[in-house]
Amino acid sequence: MPNLDGTGPHGEGPMTGWGRGYCVMPLSNPKQELGYLKSQEQALEIQLSKVRARIKVLRTAKEVRHAGI
């Protein structure tokens, strides 16, 4: 995982690399775990915003098709 930031090898999120998980991120204390979980949260928020944006695009396209425009 580049930069050990929880975003995976290509910024696609956790569990997407060859290691498939948390094996490369030893969490030896609560402070480290908290930092790791915050980075996971941030990565997931980014992914969620991309999913929501795509859903919006698809819904808009569907509405346009149904309106006959």
pLDDT tens for the chain, 69 residues: list them: 556 666 666 667 666 766 656 555 566 788 888 888 898 899 999 999 999 999 999 999 888 887 775
Question: What pLDDT sits at residue 59?
Answer: 92
Question: What pLDDT sits at residue 8?
Answer: 66
Question: What pLDDT sits at residue 15?
Answer: 67
Contact present, 7 and 1 (Cβ < 8 Å): yes
Q: Quote the pTM value.
A: 0.53
Q: How many domains does the chain have?
A: 1
Q: 24: domain range?
A: 2-67
Does residue 3 sit in helix, strand or coil?
Answer: helix
